[in-house]
Homo-oligomer: A and B are copies of this chain.
Amino acid sequence: MHNPFVPETVEGWSLLHQAFHLDWRALHALSSAERQAIAAEAAPLFARPPWRESGVGDVGQSILVQMLGHKGDLLLVHARRTFDELSQAQLDVAQTRLFELLVPASSYVSIVELGMYDMTAKIHGQLEERGLAAGSEPFDQAFDEELAIQARRMAPRLFPILPRRRQVCFYPMNKRRGEVKNWYAESFESRAAMMREHGHIGRQYAGRVTQIISGSIGLDDWEWGVDLFADDPLVFKKLIYEMRFDKASAEFAEFGPFYVGLQFDAAELGALLDGRTPALDTSTP
């Protein structure tokens, strides 16, 4: 039954973020040749997926991020079609020789999600106009059909090829359920209005930042994960600072830890193991 108080969502990639410390002492004990062999063995796990004009990734993808600070040295982001494939991605990493140089630091499990406040209200309205009674089977069936159409339309945002931009920022977040300020006790209309304002600010940054939202209610310790990709890290600071003043964030957002770093190519993993900042080739999509 489609609950009119709950915004509908459509879903895409299953995501696993994995942050690791590098065991530099062990790395120093290896020859550069050994480090390159280790990098070469692991690199295929992070192969670029075939380019698609649609922007839809038909097979899974995993990317590499060199992290800044002590929360980790290496962030892996795995996107897969199912949890079984995601689980295998996790196991594949664990079987590499690289893994013996990694110390797990943290992780995040989520599913790419588009929340649809306006669409939910619109479909409810349209179906009721068509004379379908909310909660009836024909209503629910028509609703499901409409959602399936939306999901197909939004495939490039649900199963995107991960953006090839240098700067990466990931953080989990909640909507506050405080004793006074409680997102889930706000009316649908109030929540929809706040999300509209929030989206309005986000759109001012279109082009400068690419965003992937994933839902993790029931899957991990926060409600959503946010991945941002940009060419300049200042954009993360400016965007999130400005959003902090919109009502949805100011009054209702709770933020988890922030992870930032530099995306790099699989072929550059050896450079990292040798202690050189690894590069990202952004000349091709």
Where the two chains meet, the residues of A that have a C-beta atom closer than 8 Å to any C-beta of B are 1, 3, 5-6, 9, 11, 14, 16, 18-19, 21-22, 24-25, 28, 66, 68-71, 73, 83-84, 86-88, 90-92, 94-95, 99-100, 104-109, 111, 166-167, 169, 171, 176-182, 184-185, 201, 204, 215-221, 228, 233-234, 236-242, 244-245, 249-251, 253, 257-258, 260-262, 272, 275-277
Contacts and interface: CB of A to CB of B under 8 A. Distances in A.
Residue of A11, A66, A91 with most chain B CB atoms under a 10 A cut-off: A91
A208 to B, nearest CB: 12
B6 A241 contact: yes
Given A83-B233, A111-B233, A218-B228, 15 more contacts: A69-B107, A69-B109, A84-B166, A91-B275, A169-B218, A179-B180, A180-B180, A182-B251, A184-B245, A184-B249, A218-B236, A218-B240, A219-B236, A220-B260, A221-B258
Q: Please indicate which of the listed interface residues A105, A171, A236, A244 has the most CB atoms of chain B within 10 Å of its own CB.
A: A244
B242 A3 contact: yes
Contact of A221 (B90, B104, B257): B257
Number of copies: 5
A108 B14 CA distance: 27
Contact of A83 (B92, B94, B217, B262): B262
A89 to B, nearest CB: 10
Contact of A250 (B104, B185, B262): B185
Nearest to A228: B218
Contacts of A28: 95, 100
A50 B70 CA distance: 29
Nearest to A274: B95
A221 B22 CA distance: 21
A70 to B, nearest CB: 4
Contacts of A237: 11, 111, 215-219
B179 A181 contact: yes
Contacts of A181: 179
A244 B258 contact: no
A29 to B, nearest CB: 10
A19 B217 CA distance: 20
A228 B217 CA distance: 13
A237 B257 CA distance: 22
A180 to B, nearest CB: 4
A28 to B, nearest CB: 7
6 contacts: A83-B262, A91-B276, A109-B260, A184-B250, A216-B237, A219-B258
